[in-house]
Amino acid sequence: MLPFARVSILGLGLIGSSIARGVKAYMPGARVTGYDADPATRLEADALGFLDDVADSPGAAVTDADLVMLCVPVGAMAQAAASMADDLPADAVVSDVGGCKVSVAAALRAALPQATIVPGHPVAGTEHSGPAAGFPGLFKGRWCILTPAGDTDPAAVMRVSAFWERLGAEVEVMDAAHHDRVLAVTSHVPHLIAYSIVGTASDLEEVTRSEVIKFSAGGFRDFTRIAASDPVMWRDVFLNNREAVLEILQRLTEDVTMLQRAIRWGDGDKLFDLFTRTRAIRRSIVEQGQDDAAPDFGRRHE
């Protein structure tokens, strides 16, 4: 049995279009309608053909939906929710894919006081953006975290959970505030640092931009890949997960300062200990299928 029969997707970028493609691929009986605030994106989505119908307005997109999935940057969630509030069927479930959950849950609840809301966050993506970048298998083997409020209808949580499992994801339910702390560590602060170091490099006077690019295989290019992600999406994540990001950043700064001191004073043991400890975490990530063991630094090779 299909968890939802009429899925409506608001926001047709990488994530929204991947969900739409995944529904067509893995829940073939379900109908998928989509809308994007950008007319050019609507046209592109229509031409790519991964939707049954491209609606002309948010209201028209949701009018007969049993699942409405909001796939816009977290700073645009409130407005996206408000824009379709009048047309939302009473029994529809509303979910989203935002990368931080406390602020989004509050925004959705304020815009849709009567709706059944199951906020979610698929921990998946690529460094590319837009409807053409989506693909049906994006969520396979990745985790999707749901953060429903305590009084949410358990049946609705079950259905959203089943929906993500059909897309290939594993589902975990957790408290929104805990989600925001975990993701600040595993995603938000890493992105901020990657953006920052690419910025620092491009500001150096004596090191030319061409040198930075030429010799990027020593680690830098991996940071640039992270720092190539969608700017609007990331700006919104940082502004909306402020407290958790600032706290993790503070801890990281302390730890970097400790390493800085170890380098200044030639304390090799302290460096060696940390560098050994971090290897074990890498091993666990590979063992649990969250990354390949293949030596990716070499990229294409014989």
Q: How far is the CB of 175 from a second copy (least distance, A)?
A: 11
C-beta closer to a second copy: residue 34 or 73: 73
Q: Please tell me the distance from the alpha carbon of residue 117 to that of residue 90, in angstroms, as a whole number.
A: 12
Partnered with residue 172 across adjacent β-strands are 145
Taking CB under 8 A as the rule, does residue 28 contact a second copy?
no
Taking CB under 8 A as the rule, does residue 125 contact a second copy?
yes
Residues 64-83 within binding reach of a second copy (CB under 8 A): 75
Choose among 56, 63, 169, 55: nearest CA to 121. Answer: 169
Q: How far is the CB of 67 from a second copy (least distance, A)?
A: 23
Report in angstroms the alpha-carbon separations of 55 from 6, 87, 115, 240.
13, 13, 21, 29
Strands 116-118 and 67-70: unpaired
Taking CB under 8 A as the rule, does residue 48 contact a second copy?
no
The 8-class DSSP code of residue 171 comes to E
Please identify, among the stretches 88-96, 110-118, 138-146, 149-157, the one whose residues bind a second copy according to the rule CB under 8 A: 138-146
Q: How far is the CB of 110 from a second copy (least distance, A)?
A: 19
Number of residues that bind a second copy (CB under 8 A): 113
| Residue of 31, 101, 159, 191 interacting with a second copy (CB under 8 A) | 191
Taking CB under 8 A as the rule, does residue 219 contact a second copy?
yes
Residues 263-292 within binding reach of a second copy (CB under 8 A): 263-264, 266, 268, 271-272, 274-279, 281-285, 288, 290-292
The 8-class DSSP code of residue 6 comes to E
Please identify, among the stretches 55-63, 84-92, 158-166, 187-195, the one whose residues bind a second copy according to the rule CB under 8 A: 187-195
Amino acid (one-letter) located at 174 = M
Partnered with residue 143 across adjacent β-strands are 170
